[in-house]
Structure 1
């Protein structure tokens, strides 16, 4: 736009650039006028993909502007950042979708004001809605929908009827391949309602934060679906028996398994999964093996813990398990293993030739003397919050030269909240040549610590 103001020749060139643009990403600041955004979009006659990052409140005016300015839009994403609020209602969203006959991908953040879902579209294939709350009515009739993500707020007073929602979803969207639902209201009845639809094309099932989901749900899932490639039951109450059912049904298909924050599973169940799922490439067991003595801490400390974690702790207190457990994993295809927050582990033995990413963040009781890592392709080890002795042992095992750590990696926030930072100075002393020969080295591996 700045170039267009130079002269008539440049303005003509820029006009052709706008016309040929197929994808535009705009950041809408609080000072921006919606008319200005509309004038920008109106120049893009061939626009098919649009991403709006809203730093100001979003309402029906924004949707109307997009609908009018982008007649051929196929993919639309709206991100809500900072203090901005999404004031779009369910009726307004339904009207927008019905007007966009070519829309196939829709992703919208901050949907706490929808109130209802009435989405009918023959073209929509991907639907992501986050921050949902208190949905009174649900109709999602999209025969070509292949992927859906419904992320609810973590409010105890959420009145959404998830059983009815899952039942409606299964009956009206028969081609679904990927399902992600995150809600503390998830329960066995909701899972049974979804499973009853018998979605034959389903390949990814993610039901997160459902502490009321038990092995009964696992039994229903494995009885209906035999070709899942990804299964995420993080935050559920399944046990080692549930893991056994998963392993019996999906040994040839499952490549990604997420069992984080599952307080009823043990290291035995994790080892069994690793042994029985030969095609597993990603395995997340974060916070599932925790130190019970730490959880029975002071009242003051417990008050700082979130409601979901408290529920997990209550469940764990009933388990007849020792405080510390050992974990042995030998796997030929595993590429990423996450044990973040597994403070109940004191020994770890890994023999995974393809492993390239290992997360040990907050494994506070892991003993350096019982740590064995035989993973020649390991690229990244995350060890935020671990003992200094363990961190030193990890460096001894995986780094050929402490000086190689340096500033190769800038600070970066990871998915679990830790940061990638430089190695502390006391760990960067140069080893002697004799010491180097004695160490097991992974020359391309980097250790990431957080503060």
Structure 2
């Protein structure tokens, strides 16, 4: 017998592993990886169908007709997989005798957003989705415009069984929602836990309520207006079960907050008030003092949050886990220092755009001591120093998400090195517009001088910031440069890139590199380096090795070319979103390399890449099988009709491009309708 045959026969079969082991391995994978594994064999397919892996699976039908006779509806009818979440985005409805009845066997939530839906269709769909606990109706103008939604007792009876099981209700951004419609919907729900009214046109002023509700009609809900009076009635009816309220982007004020405080058994855990500009400080403080069990509080972009508000939060909300005060410009150092008292519970903090918070307030407050609880920190657009970023890197070592975008002064090569060394659990890192960082920060090379006898000589970080500008002649006399400031910067960047490449190409021993490369963040999934124009191919080639990286944003990084992208696509094979906008060194060869190797690419942004021609479109059409979004603004050398080139790409839903000519071809028109419906 052939010895090679005997060896292969004795090799372990991974398909025959016990199901418990396969499931345990799958727990380390994201959903996309699990989907790929399910195609290997039947046993792995069976493992991928375990409920814990399917609990967040969503069908999102965008700008398509849902019908039993057309894909994708026809395809799903032949599937036995569970799909717990259904999302209809700008969808239309055709013949539907079996689709929702089939999907309703496993559906737990359904969302209708900007969907052309009639009342009869809505009732027929919900009658089939009898197991859902979450219902979202977003921007469905046609459904509520007449004001007679669910007026018929027959319609209410049809969906009564389904609605009785609903626990989470979202009616956001519906301008024609009225008191009568709201009551008809909520009266069918037995126990409501979440109510989302964000973006609705809610009347809070008593004078408006008196106009539409004279004494003789005080208890008859109007079909013309949505008032806080009847919303309060709904909240009172469900006060024993209600845990979450969302009034973001409405005109809710202090009086409404006081009215909520008077509901005796209301015990909220989550309150969202984003961009509620009519709120006042006393109303917020009174509500917080009454609702001491809040775990999530969003007061972003409101004008009422002051240091006194933060003091009330710190003293009363001992269990708070998520706090968002983004854009609250009245908060100062005094209030920021108080946040240190929440170190025992706070997991997510957003202080972006808080102009009154300085770097020393963060360094002496939330980042003043080791904090293992905080997992997400957003502090973009702050005037912080390098020492502040360093303290965050040292003491907030359990961070999973860090946003330091537009923190120009604090984000330098030295401070980034501290982050890369200590924040090894990071999953998302945003350093957009931090243009001071260079390749030295992301590769870890040249942090310190090596011994003079070593060859090649390691270069210090200061060297990369202060490269010679070729303004001294060989004889020592000064030369006058006729370059502009921008041109001088371009030359320095080019020299810096050459120097870094020279160090690596001469096979520098990595053991002599004292810095930490960005690949130390092995679990990184999203990286935003937009506007970091000192980043070059060196970082892509020698620093970026991320097996889990899904989103990479590199727009306005002009030094990136095909050299770096060839290495990137090999070392980061899981990329699903790639932004190369305004990278003028990107050419057709680069796009060919990207599309051939990134098999999971779903979103590609190449706007402003002026070297790209129609050959790039050909590469996209041939290689991108799951592309969903394509942006090609300002690609002036693409002369052909882009819609015609993409007509056979059934996966594309969003196409961002410059104004196109009038289309005569019927097939092109249908594509345009599918994309921009």
TM-score after normalising by structure 2: 0.49
1:363 aligns with 2:583: yes
Of 331, 338, 341, the residue aligned with 2:556 is: 341
* Long gaps (5+) in structure 2: 1-147, 206-226, 445-516, 646-650, 659-677
Contact 2:343 2:366 in 1 (8 A): no
For residues 271 and 4 of structure 1, do their structure 2 counterparts lie closer, same or farther at Cα, with a shift above 3 Å needed?
Answer: same
1:76 aligns with 2:245: yes
Aligned to 2:396: 225
Contact 1:126 1:148 in 2 (8 A): yes
C-alpha separation in 2, matches of 1:178 and 1:30: 32
For residues 148 and 397 of structure 1, do their structure 2 counterparts lie closer, same or farther at Cα, with a shift above 3 Å needed?
Answer: same
SS of aligned partner of 2:170: strand
1:161 aligns with 2:338: no
Contact 1:354 1:376 in 2 (8 A): yes
For residues 335 and 88 of structure 1, do their structure 2 counterparts lie closer, same or farther at Cα, with a shift above 3 Å needed?
Answer: same
Aligned to 2:268: 103
C-alpha separation in 2, matches of 1:378 and 1:13: 42
C-alpha separation in 1, matches of 2:194 and 2:613: 45
C-alpha separation in 2, matches of 1:220 and 1:389: 43
Aligned to 1:178: 348
Of 140, 143, 152, the residue aligned with 2:327 is: 152
Q: What displacement does 1:325 show?
A: 7.2
C-alpha separation in 1, matches of 2:234 and 2:557: 47
Of 316, 332, 338, the residue aligned with 2:546 is: 332
SS of aligned partner of 1:132: coil
Aligned to 1:292: none
Higher Cα Rg: structure 1 or 2? 2
* Long gaps (5+) in structure 1: 290-320, 431-443
Q: What displacement does 1:204 show?
A: 1.3
Aligned to 1:400: 622
User: Aligned Cα RMSD in Å?
Assistant: 4.0
Contact 1:42 1:69 in 2 (8 A): no
Moved more, 14-23 or 184-193: 14-23
For residues 397 and 213 of structure 1, do their structure 2 counterparts lie closer, same or farther at Cα, with a shift above 3 Å needed?
Answer: farther
For residues 344 and 165 of structure 1, do their structure 2 counterparts lie closer, same or farther at Cα, with a shift above 3 Å needed?
Answer: farther
- Where relative contact order (Cα < 8 A, 6+ residues apart) is larger, the structure is 1
The number of residues matched between the two structures is 383
How big is each residue's C-alpha offset from its partner over 1:284-339, in whole Å with a ceiling of 9 and x where there is no partner?
111222xxxxxxxxxxxxxxxxxxxxxxxxxxxxxxx79x8764243132222111
Aligned to 1:239: 412
User: What is the correspondence of 1:11-90 to structure 2 with a 5 Å cutoff?
Assistant: 17-27=162-172, 33-34=178-179, 37-38=182-183, 40-57=185-202, 59=204, 62=228, 64-71=232-239, 72-80=241-249, 85-89=250-254
Aligned to 1:385: 607
Aligned to 2:301: 131
Structure that is richer in strand per residue = 1
Aligned to 1:5: 152
User: What is the correspondence of 1:272-311 to structure 2 with a 5 Å cutoff?
Assistant: 272=444, 273-289=517-533
C-alpha separation in 2, matches of 1:14 and 1:206: 43
Contact 1:274 1:280 in 2 (8 A): no
Structure that is richer in helix per residue = 2
Aligned to 1:438: none
How big is each residue's C-alpha offset from its partner over 1:208-231, in whole Å with a ceiling of 9 and x where there is no partner?
211x12321112112312221111
